[in-house]
Amino acid sequence: MEGTFIESAPMLKVSEMAENLIGSEILKIAAEINKKIEEGEKVYNFTVGDFDPTLFQIPEILKNEIAQAYLSDQTNYPPANGLLELREAISRYLHTRLGLEYNEDQILISSGARPLIYSIFKAVLDPNDKVIIPVPSWNNNHYAHLNYGSPVFIETDPEDNFLPTAEKLKSHIQDAKMITLCSPLNPTGTIFDRVQLTKICEMVIEENKKRGEYKKPIYMLFDQVYWNLIYGSNIHMDPVSLIPEMKNYTIFVDGISKSFAATGVRVGWGFGPLKVIQKMKAILGHIGAWAPKPEQTGLAKFFKYDDQIDAYLNNFKNQIHERLMTFHNGFQDLKEEGFKVDAIFPQSSIYLTVQLNLIGMKTPNGDRISNATDISRYLLKEGSIGIVPFYAFGASKNSTWFRISVGTCKLNDIEGFFSNLKEAIRKLS
C-alpha cells in the first residue's frame, strides 16, 4: 500500500548536514504565536523582521515599473549575474549614496540577500574553515552549518552596543578564514562607530599582510541590508570607506528587502573583489537563485528616480522611527517607575533592543523564571506579547535582552502592549 512507504519516511537516512540543520528560532516562536492568533487571541506580535504590507508598502514607482515589466513580457531568464541595466544602476547608487566605487562586473544580483550570504560562505570557505561570528546576529550560524564551516561565536556586550570589538576578536583571527559583520545590526538596531570598525579592519589588514599572497586571506562578510534606515545624526560606516585596502577582502551584502519594505519582492545584491563575485555567480547560477526578471527590470528603472527615493525613505524612516522611539520611551518610563527593564536608544533598522530582567522571579503558578525561554513563555501566556530573546540570535540562554520588531506594529497598539507588559510583570514576585 502507498501509505506504508510514507509512514516509514522519517526513518530514511539523509545527509548528516541535513539531519542536523535547525530551523530559524524566530520562525519557531512566530509559529507558536500565530497559533494563538488563529485561536482568536489578540497578541502583540513583534517577532518577525518583516513588514505588514497594509502599513508599509513598497514605493509606488517600483510597484508600477515591476507591473509594467510583466505587461511587456520581460519573463525569460535574466543573465546569471543580473540584468546589466540593474547592475549599472546599483553601481551608480553605491557611488552617489555611499561613495563606493564598484563597476557592474563586481556586482551580483540575486533573489534577496540570503542566497548571497550562502554563496559567500560557499565561495570562500573550505570544509572546517574557521569563521568568526559575533552574536547576537542573524542566521550566520545556519550558513556556517550549510557550508561545513567551523564557527566560533563571540558574544558581544551591551556596553559596546552589541557590536564586536577588535579586542574580543583578536585571539581568533590568526587561523580564521572569514569574519561576519553586520551593521546596522539585526537584532539590535545598533551600528558600528568609526573607531570600533576601523580597529577591526586594521587587524584584518595586518593579519592578511602576514599571510602574504599565497595563503587564503581572512575575508569580511559585511551585511548592510539596513543601511538606509539610520536615524538622527548617526552615520553608516563600512569597511571600504574607512580603509580602502579592505576592498580586497570585503564582500558586501545589500538589497531592497528592508530599505524599501520589499521583503517579498526578492532582489538583493552583493559586491566585492571580482574573483569572489565571479565564483558566487557560478555557485548561484547552478542554484538558479536569480531575482525574477520583471523585478530586476522594474528596480533598474526605479533607481533613476533619486528625488522620489529620498521622499519615500524620508517618510518610511519617520514612521519606523516614531514607533521605535515610542517603545523606547515607554521602556524608560517603566524603568523610572522601578520595573526591572531597560532599552537601548534606537539608532537604526526596524528593531529595538530591550531588557527584561525577570530571571529569578516567581510566576503566579509558583514557577521560577530561570532563563530567557521562561521569560518569553511567560510574556506570551500572561501578557499576549511576542518578542524575540537574543538567545534566538546566538546569545546565551541567560541573556535578558530581547528584540522588538516594529515592521508589523500599529502605533496605537503600543499603549496596549505596555499595559499588558506592566500587568504581567506586576504579577511576578
Ligand X SMILES: Cc1ncc(COP(=O)(O)O)c(C=O)c1O
The contact set with ligand X (CB under 6 A) reads 49, 112-114, 138, 182, 186, 223, 225, 255, 257, 263, 268
CA-to-CA distance for 208 and 151, rounded, in angstroms?
20
Q: Which is nearer to ligand X, 119 or 420 (CB)?
A: 119
C-beta closer to ligand X: residue 186 or 399:
186
| Least Å from the CB of residue 266 to ligand X | 7
Q: Please report how close the Cβ of residue 2 comes to ligand X at its closest, in angstroms.
A: 37
Which one-letter amino acid corresponds to residue 88? E
Residue 112 class from Cβ within 10 Å (0-12 exposed, 13-18 middle, 19+ buried)?
buried
Q: Which residues contact 5 (CB under 8 A, 6 or more apart)?
A: none
> Cell for 166?
577588535
Residue 131: in which H helix or E strand, if any? strand 130-135
Residues whose CB falls within 8 Å of the CB of residue 304, separated by 6 or more in sequence, listed in order: 89
Q: What is the identity of the amino acid at 422?
A: K
Q: How far apart are CA 408 and CA 44, in angstroms?
A: 10
Name which of 27 and 195 has its Cβ closer to ligand X. Answer: 27
Q: What are the phi and psi torsion angles at 153 (to 5°)?
A: -95, 130
Question: Could you tell me the smallest distance in angstroms from the CB atom of residue 146 to ligand X?
Answer: 14
Asked if 260 contacts 92 with a C-beta cutoff of 8 angstroms, the reply is: no
Distance in Å, CB of 405 to ligand X, minimum: 9
Q: How far is the CB of 201 from ligand X (least distance, A)?
A: 19
C-beta closer to ligand X: residue 36 or 142: 142
> Which residue, 176 or 182, is less far from ligand X as judged by CB?
182
Nearer to ligand X, 229 or 300 (CB): 229
Grid cell listed for 350:
526596524
Q: Least distance from C-beta 398 to ligand X, angstroms?
A: 24
Q: Which residue is nearest to ligand X (CB)?
A: 112
Contact in structure between 227 and 259 (CB atoms under 8 Å): yes
Q: How far is the CB of 113 from ligand X (least distance, A)?
A: 4
- Length of the chain equals 429
* Cβ count near 226 (within 10 Å): 24
Q: Identify which of residues 143 and 312 has a Cβ nearer to ligand X in the complex.
A: 143
